[in-house]
Structure 1
């Protein structure tokens, strides 16, 4: 006599004692560690594909470094994985009066996601997007003669908070925690003596997700990602389980520019030449001034010189060695964002940092280098060119010329 279940013949978990509840299947967490999962997806790439990616990264930019904030979009593809609980399926059939002769499972599927986000600084970003995990299924053959087919399709949207840990200029690790809204669609089909009453239940539910990954900056605009994510899922009858997605993908940042020093290193302050035999002395050369973009020397709101800024100052200091000076004046400028007291302190600390670097690199006595901060009292931008007072990315970018460090050299003789 055919058996009609009062619940869909399949679910994500168990809601009663094993062997007494209706036929179920359950998607459980993959037990592999994150490192094993990342190794698995990388091994799935062909040798030719890996060589092409590595070659492109080397050719494109060996020293690529993206700006710390801005909008981006991207996409990942990979393998989604679920563990189907065959023992629970067998127990459910047995409790309903059926023997199980064989079970076949489809645990691995093609999964993908597309996303967009905004990175606020080098350590934090918000991201949202769409994901599709594919379709997982099983087929059980029974005695009395019949079959039970069950499947689950999963797709939805998510919003994630992302924490980044820079390791080098190009390479960083990141973790994510987020909220998902998933559409889980179950499908059950019986033949012979097996007849589920509800063949197509579905459910939409909020849940959480977690993830870990690594990112390599190929160019300032383009990055390569590899990551593993765990999605917590509710099925159509209120049971829970996990699905993992292991994927690789590309990320594109908008509005990126190569980070360079605003002004080139100047020529030597004074010409190095033999003094003429005339009794007329050569007058001292006029003061020379060089302006460095503060964004090229410091991170926004910081007074610690970045490696790229230190290299530029060292090149400048090399031009000064061997010459005699009355004074070297270092003046730090900020933009108008923030309070007067904060900007005055920041501009002073930046000027002192540049002075310390010049003393160390050029050998000029510290007593001959003056360092002072002047707040944002002497802007380069014209009034009305950058409207607004809130520190938005647009206003910060517009006021970039105002954030600078000026170095004026007054020489006595070459």
Structure 2
């Protein structure tokens, strides 16, 4: 039994050249597991079957093919960083077969099962905050278990041949992060396989995958740093004449770590981020607000345009939270995105351009949301 190629080869190039993607935060490494279920497809070589029967002196009067099956995969892996993971699993590509009737009168039934283990390198290319493109390339060891049976004029000499062989596999798909602990994938994969009687071909699978990260580390919440300044009046030789004193507007400037407010590469507030903003609003009791400015900042990794958009989305998220849960008037709240234009780190502090865990940790001070409040005490 032989399978033929049905799709262009899924290029392994999708796994590489991902370091330039715009990602502003970074998960630490974590383990994950999951389950894939979908449809498998193969092309059975009906001409070879007919020719084989003819060589045995038998004509083929009818031939029915089963070229689709149900495939599943159980897998686990380790995500080294945002871009690369190593994944291994057990797969079952399903069953394929055929049934032929012959003249002189007889029947021939053939069936193949394909099961095995794989080890893949998986690459991820972020497209939006939650959507990514994934590509994979790897090796797989598949066992082909064939079963042949004949009746009447058809005699089968080897009814149950089997063979185990190592071949490549590749795949391409999309991934959506529902939550940090639950992801969904849609994938197309190609398995190069050998059957047990000397034929070689491809089996393609189209599957939906549920993926569950284990112990995915949340970024530790960083307490806000409140800075304020007081300028003493210059000394005078003689007491100044009595004047009406108008108190200067009170100001508070708070810098929140973006990693403490938001999840990886996202603009949705985390529970600990909401707690930090609630504490900040509570500390402002007794102050009349004239203006509130919210600024979003990112690090220098990724493109400037991507960084600008993400910083603006995060600033707007904080502004909307203040409006919905605080006592700020919307007209007095202004949100701006600064992108990567105002880093805290100095040019020589964090060397390199590749988004390694070391560089991402070094650039953490640049990823922040700054809130400045101007007003007067009651």
For this structure pair, what is the TM-score category when the shorter chain's length is used for normalisation? 0.5 to 0.7
- 1:161-200 CA-to-partner distances (Å, cap 9, x unmatched) read 1222211111111211110011111111111122222111
Report the equivalent of 2:365.
404
Measure how far apart 1:225 and its partner are: 0.9
Look up the SS of the partner of 2:179 in the other structure: coil
Q: Trace 1:282-361 onto structure 2 (pairs within 5 A).
A: 290=255, 292=257, 307-309=309-311, 353=340, 355=342
Report the equivalent of 1:212.
172
Q: Does 1:108 align with 2:68?
A: yes
Look up the SS of the partner of 2:342 in the other structure: helix
Question: Residue 257 of structure 2 contacts residue 365 of structure 2 at CA under 8 Å; is this kept in 1?
Answer: yes
Q: Does 1:29 align with 2:29?
A: no
2:195 to 202, 221, 235: 235
1:165 to 122, 125, 138: 125
C-alpha spacing 1:120/1:292, structure 2 compared with 1 (3 Å): same
Give 1 or 2: higher helix fraction.
1
Look up the SS of the partner of 1:168 in the other structure: coil
1:199 to 149, 159, 165: 159
C-alpha spacing 1:75/1:66, structure 2 compared with 1 (3 Å): farther
C-alpha spacing 1:255/1:402, structure 2 compared with 1 (3 Å): farther
Q: How many residues were matched structurally?
A: 293
Taking the aligned partners of 1:402 and 1:91, their CA distance within structure 2 comes to 67
Measure how far apart 1:146 and its partner are: 1.3
Measure how far apart 1:66 and its partner are: 8.8
TM-score (norm. length: structure 1): 0.57
Which segments of 5 or more consecutive residues in structure 1 lack a partner in the other structure?
1-24, 35-64, 271-276, 320-351, 357-369, 377-391
- 1:249-274 CA-to-partner distances (Å, cap 9, x unmatched) read 2111223467797456979989xxxx
Question: Residue 107 of structure 2 contacts residue 154 of structure 2 at CA under 8 Å; is this kept in 1?
Answer: yes
Taking the aligned partners of 2:133 and 2:346, their CA distance within structure 1 comes to 38
Measure how far apart 1:301 and its partner are: 7.7
Report the equivalent of 1:76.
36
Measure how far apart 1:355 and its partner are: 2.9
Measure how far apart 1:239 and its partner are: 2.3
Question: Residue 228 of structure 2 contacts residue 252 of structure 2 at CA under 8 Å; is this kept in 1?
Answer: no
Look up the SS of the partner of 2:114 in the other structure: strand
Measure how far apart 1:96 and its partner are: 1.3
Report the equivalent of 1:14.
none
C-alpha spacing 1:190/1:129, structure 2 compared with 1 (3 Å): same
Question: Residue 44 of structure 2 contacts residue 67 of structure 2 at CA under 8 Å; is this kept in 1?
Answer: yes
C-alpha spacing 1:217/1:286, structure 2 compared with 1 (3 Å): closer
Measure how far apart 1:82 and its partner are: 1.2
Look up the SS of the partner of 1:404 in the other structure: helix
Taking the aligned partners of 2:348 and 2:249, their CA distance within structure 1 comes to 28
Which segments of 5 or more consecutive residues in structure 2 lack a partner in the other structure?
11-24, 231-241, 263-296, 323-327, 329-338, 351-355
Taking the aligned partners of 2:154 and 2:65, their CA distance within structure 1 comes to 18
Question: Residue 202 of structure 1 contacts residue 235 of structure 1 at CA under 8 Å; is this kept in 2?
Answer: yes
